[in-house]
Amino acid sequence: MSNEIKIGDYVVIQKQNYKKLHKFNKADSSISLGRDTVNLKGIDGCPYFSVFKMIPKSSKRNRDYTVELAQEAVKLKDEIDIKVSGSDNRNILDDGNSQKLSASDIETLKSDSNKASDIVGTLINNSNTFHNKTEFSQDKYLRKKEKKYFEYFQVIKPNLRVISEIMYKLDPGKIQNLRIDTLSQIITMVNIHSEGNHLLYDSGSNGLVAAALLSVIGKDTNGKLLHMHPGNMSQKQALLAMNFPEEQLNRCVSVNVYSALRQFYQGCDTNNGVDKDIQTSENDENPLKRKADETDEHQSKKMKQEEDEELVESLDKTDGDKPRGNKKPKWHFDNIAASEILQNKMDSLVIACKEDPQNIFNELVSFVKPGRPFVIYYSAVEPLQQLYLTLRPRANVAALKLTCNWMRNYQVLPERTHPEVTMNGASGYLLSGYVLK
């Protein structure tokens, strides 16, 4: 991937700590950042990491912006010079009278001023108490206001870390509460690397687990990822957002789990006659799939129409090669490819599912070579506890371990270092082990 923003790329728009994934599919596509609508015309061809300033289109009131390449993001702290500070808050009274400007004054100020520092500067000058606040308290005030009035954003390249963070923040339920630390451990626990054939069953992480594994398999390597899913179409959002080169993306074979296993055991998909049967039987599976994913689909429709449209659009593109020479759909070839990979046995197994993991594990573990690791992710502990007890007496697995993770972020500032006041508590559980002969 080059260092310049190109039309067609997935890009990440970062405004302060807020990050948003965006498919930059038109030179003048728009993106909503909070209540603001920003037209991205002009970012095409700029290097990644460039800083852009948001310029109000007409008046600030309708919150429509265009962008302009900026030298740097100006910090409020650098623009506003604070001369005096208090030593503590003993003389500060919260009587509602400290701000001399009225609410309507402030509204006018907000829509008339072009610079955040003008607004905040005026607010400060009209405050009776600001200069009695401690230096730390003033700093906190400025940081808070900066968040509100920040006029700059950066365009950065998506990668696994950023995508995982965005998806978790936006709606952890859609990726089964799979937090970045747990995701990072899935990758290491099953020893995913540039080599080998890796098997993934994923029924609901929006492609995040597949993206994680494929990114670590890497470009221009031999590793393959067999990505099984229960639906007609795999969830690919995160996978596409990684902007993987064609060569790498092609080493991720996404197949419907029913079709792939039917092909493996019954091998029916080699002549044309049987081909039709498969297609109809796959259509039969639709109702089943609908039921399972119904809630999820509803959610996604509500939450991110924009992204869904993008998703559909890009899926269309990837399936554009559907009718090949002999008019067989891509999935036909994918099933055969999957079956061939399975014949050679797999070097790892990852399951991240919504269903009861037990049957899925029992079926898929038979494809894993002896001595190779597996890991099962589930958002609640009970199904994994049950599975643990079922597997423990078995001779075909060893080193069973059920783990959970705890992660805490810190505010690190001179004299003000402490853990952040909120933690992301939900992270799910991992059951890992090794397959034996």
Partner 1 sequence: MSFRNYKDKIEEGDTVILYLSNNLYALDVQREIKNKKGEMIENVYQTPFGALKVKTLIGADYGTKIELTKGWGHVLQPTPELWSLTLPHRTQIIYTPDISMILLQLDLVPGCVVVEAGTGSGSLTHALIRRVRPHGHVYTFDFHEHRAKIAQEEFKDHGLADFVTAKHRDVLAEGFDKDLNGKADAVFLDLPSPWLGVPHALAAIKEEGGRFCSFSPCIEQVQRTCLALQEHGFQEITTMEVLQSEIKVSRRTVPVRDLSFLKQKSSISPVEEKPSSETSYVVGALPQSNPGHTGYLTVATLPPVYVRGKSKKDDDNISSENGEKMVVDENV
Site for partner 1 in 103-162 (CB under 8 A): 154, 159-161
Choosing from 195, 275, 285, 355, the residue that interacts with partner 1 (CB under 8 A) is: 195
Q: Which is nearer to partner 1, 212 or 338 (CB)?
A: 212
* Residue 401 lies near partner 1 (rule: CB under 8 A): yes
The 165-194 site mask, x for binding partner 1 (CB under 8 A), equals ---------------xx-xxx-xxx-x-xx
Choosing from 48, 149, 264, 333, the residue that interacts with partner 1 (CB under 8 A) is: 48
Q: Which is nearer to partner 1, 140 or 369 (CB)?
A: 369
* Residue 53 lies near partner 1 (rule: CB under 8 A): no
Q: For partner 1, how many residues bind (rule: CB under 8 A)?
A: 72
Q: Which is nearer to partner 1, 31 or 186 (CB)?
A: 186
Q: Which is nearer to partner 1, 84 or 404 (CB)?
A: 404
Q: Which is nearer to partner 1, 103 or 412 (CB)?
A: 412
Choosing from 3, 32, 286, 305, the residue that interacts with partner 1 (CB under 8 A) is: 3
Q: Scan residues 366-395 and list those touching partner 1 (CB under 8 A).
A: 369-373, 381-382, 385-386, 388-389, 395
> Minimum Å distance from CB 322 to partner 1?
30
Give CA angle at 223 (217, 225), nearest 5°: 80
- The C-alpha atoms of residue 351 and residue 391 are separated, in whole angstroms, by 15
Q: Scan residues 206-265 and list those touching partner 1 (CB under 8 A).
A: 215-221
According to DSSP, the β-strands at 36-39 and 64-70 are: parallel
Q: Is the dihedral of CA 107, 108, 114, 117 positive or negative?
A: negative
Choosing from 55, 315, 402, 426, the residue that interacts with partner 1 (CB under 8 A) is: 402
User: Could you give the C-alpha distances from 436 to 43, 64, 115, 153, 385, in angstroms and in order?
Assistant: 53, 61, 65, 52, 20
Burial bucket for residue 45 (CB in 10 Å: 0-12, 13-18, 19+):
exposed
> Minimum Å distance from CB 286 to partner 1?
35
- The string of DSSP codes covering 175-199 is GTT--HHHHHHHHHHTT--SSSEEE
User: Could you give the C-alpha distances from 209 to 175, 253, 256, in angstroms and in order?
Assistant: 9, 14, 16
Give every strand in the sheet of 224-229, ordered side by side. Answer: 252-256, 224-229, 197-202, 348-352, 373-378, 429-435
Report yes or no: 304 and 32 within 8 Å, Cβ to Cβ: no
The tokens 């992301």 sit on which residue?
A: 424
The 336-365 site mask, x for binding partner 1 (CB under 8 A), equals -----------x------------------
Span interacting with partner 1, options 21-29, 270-278, 326-334, 401-409, rule CB under 8 A = 401-409
Q: Which is nearer to partner 1, 115 or 317 (CB)?
A: 115
Strand partners, 199: 226, 349
Q: Which residues contact 266 (CB under 8 A, 6 or more apart)?
A: none
Burial bucket for residue 240 (CB in 10 Å: 0-12, 13-18, 19+):
buried
Q: Which is nearer to partner 1, 93 or 423 (CB)?
A: 423
* Residue 271 lies near partner 1 (rule: CB under 8 A): no
* Residue 50 lies near partner 1 (rule: CB under 8 A): yes
